[in-house]
Amino acid sequence: MTRITVAKGDGIGPEIMNATLEIIKAAGAQIEIDEIEVGEKVYLSGNTSGIASESWDIIRRNKIFLKAPITTPQGGGYKSLNVTTRKFLGLYSNVRPCMSLHPFVETKHPKMDIVIIRENEEDLYAGIEHQQTDEVIQCLKLISRPGCEKIVRYAFEYAKVYGRKKVTCFTKDNIMKQTDGLFHQVFDEIALEYPEIENEHWIIDIGAAKMADTPEIFDVIVTLNLYGDVLSDIAAQIAGSVGLAGSANIGEECAMFEAIHGSAPRRAGQNMANPSGLLEGAVMMLNHIGQTEIAEKVQNAWLKTIEDGIHTYDIFKEGISKQKVGTKEFAQAVITNLGNKPSILKEVSFSKDAVLNLPKYVKKPSAKKELVGVDLFVDWKGTDPDEIAEKMKRIILENINLTMITNRGIKVWPEGFKETFCTDHWRCRFKPTNGSLMTKGQIIALLSNAQLSKIDVIKTENLYEFDGKAGYSLGQGQ
Ligand code: NAD
């Protein structure tokens, strides 16, 4: 018996959760349930996180969380409970299988069968944003080596255990050479440990286009958080419907399972919603807690029901479907099919041995870190790069020179183009003249000089080398 936490959520949430629980219990799932309240009611009671602290205690104690979609109220101040849960509980891996159910659910991609494994904690989802000048706001993209190693290893282990042949990595490392570059580099390193699995890397733009056009050439896709978010909704939709896909959020200790879609408030309370997405999440949960026989039974009964043409409105199609049913009737049809297997769709067979080998991350020894310069970011309302260069030269120190100015990343001094559009946000790079190291004291002296010269420094970034390798990007055009 496994004790799990259940939240019925908002909108269509309670209906699809009741249907899901009814099916898995009828299949013999050995679960005990603690129900908690999350979402709209909690938000509107004045709790901006959408969840009470006692509920966190239950989630942390049970470690397994089955969650229906929730409604995040419109307007500022309400934190996304999904993002908070993933990060609080260290659920670093988001797994979204997207498989076509051709010829029973209409799709342009009858052979599609991909699993998107999305990094779930880092990237722009750190949500660290600052307005720095009238014109410019920044959002920090944070990528860590542990984060990359954990998700890439997860993808290869998943492929190995579930008999997948290929893992494809999507990044934009032709532009983001440091952050996406690290993800790609870690992918190449870890791929070497799995010679039996094919590996490849695509630049995300053409890769995404290819996935939307010819998804059958992909198998497992591993990518960063934001790309994975966008890509997995596209993948679910082109496979048939967002209403069919489930997702698992896996961490070292806890895991959360859900549908990928939202609370569809317009369909709430009408016995219309398709419970399949949440049911698919629950099947992943049953596999995760080792109840593989039950998971298999539920999945095959679900496939058989889809094959029988018993469809909810979202996938119902004259000529393909046989019977349009509501949420409850769909659940009853799946229950009636428990023990049956599909005959045209591929039946599943899950193994108890399908356990991913995911050792705890061990920290690496530190590299030799040397300070080799500093970027001062300045709010300046002028437009002529030569003018700001003259101002900045006034603050230089003995042996510390101004080497470059960029605006939104593109070099504008020395030798910029007059055509380049400049905002009020300037990056001024200072480096020692003779290639020697810089000190923190010199940075403070530069800042003091800037203050005396009434230069509005809005932030600084130190330039480091790690074991002699530059840990910062060049200016574009440098
Ligand atoms: P949505 O996914 O709720 O709905 C998009 C469309 O898909 C709608 O036309 C809806 O009717 C349809 N649809 C979705 N699930 C369906 C199902 N199971 N059966 C049949 N049709 C289904 O997206 P939205 O309308 O943008 O968002 C509604 C609310 O859900 C918002 O408050 C949003 O914040 C929230 N949301 C929550 C989650 C989550 O809790 N994981 C995820 C996404 C959105």
Could you give the domains of the chain?
2-336 (3.40.718.10), 369-470 (3.30.70.1570)
Residue nearest to atom 23 of ligand 1 (CA): 262
pLDDT of residue 360: 87
Q: Where are the alpha helices (DSSP H) in 111-264?
A: 145-161, 179-191, 204-213, 225-239
H/E element, 400: strand 400-407
The DSSP bridge partners found for residue 114 are 98
Distance 274 CA to ligand 1 centre (A): 11
Distance 70 CA to ligand 1 centre (A): 9
Q: What is the CA radius of gyration of the chain?
A: 26
pLDDT of residue 212: 96
pLDDT of residue 226: 96
pTM over 0.85: yes
Question: What number of other Cβ atoms are within 10 A of residue 382's Cβ?
Answer: 12
- Judge if the beta carbon of residue 15 lies within 6 A of ligand 1: no
9 Cα nearest atom in ligand 1? 40
- Per cent of the chain over pLDDT 70 is 100
Q: What is the distance between the alpha carbons of residues 336 and 301, in angstroms, rounded to a whole number? A: 8
Question: What number of other Cβ atoms are within 10 A of residue 281's Cβ?
Answer: 25
Distance 264 CA to ligand 1 centre (A): 4
73 Cα nearest atom in ligand 1? 32
Q: How far is CA 269 from CA 249, 264, 265, 329, 478, in A?
A: 27, 10, 9, 14, 60
Q: What is the distance between the alpha carbons of residues 67 and 9, in angstroms, rounded to a whole number? A: 7
**CA 103 remoteness from chain centre:** 31
Q: What is the distance between the alpha carbons of residues 282 and 247, in angstroms, rounded to a whole number? A: 9
- Judge if the beta carbon of residue 39 lies within 6 A of ligand 1: no
pLDDT of residue 178: 96
- Judge if the beta carbon of residue 72 lies within 6 A of ligand 1: yes
Task: For ligand 1, pick from 38, 257, 263 the residue to mutate: most ligand atoms within 8 Å of CB.
Answer: 263
Q: How far is CA 115 from CA 241, 359, 360, in A?
A: 15, 22, 23
Task: For ligand 1, pick from 261, 279, 302, 313 the residue to mutate: most ligand atoms within 8 Å of CB.
Answer: 261
Q: Which residue has the tokens 């409105």?
A: 313
Distance 12 CA to ligand 1 centre (A): 9
Query: Do 365 and 347 form a contact (C-beta atoms < 8 A)?
Result: no
275 Cα nearest atom in ligand 1? 18
H/E element, 447: helix 440-452
Question: In this structure, what token pair is assigned to residue 415?
Answer: 């030798």
278 Cα nearest atom in ligand 1? 18
Residue nearest to atom 4 of ligand 1 (CA): 264
**CA 442 remoteness from chain centre:** 40
Q: Which residue has the tokens 């190449």?
A: 188
pLDDT of residue 357: 87
Q: Which residue has the tokens 């049956």?
A: 340
Distance 209 CA to ligand 1 centre (A): 24
Residue nearest to atom 20 of ligand 1 (CA): 273
273 Cα nearest atom in ligand 1? 19
Residue nearest to atom 8 of ligand 1 (CA): 264
Q: How far is CA 308 from CA 246, 304, 349, in A?
A: 21, 6, 20
pLDDT of residue 5: 98
- Report mean pLDDT in 10-residue bins for the chain, 478 residues: 97 98 98 96 88 93 97 81 88 96 94 96 92 97 97 97 96 96 98 98 97 97 96 92 92 95 95 97 96 97 97 93 97 98 94 84 94 98 96 95 96 94 98 93 97 98 97 87
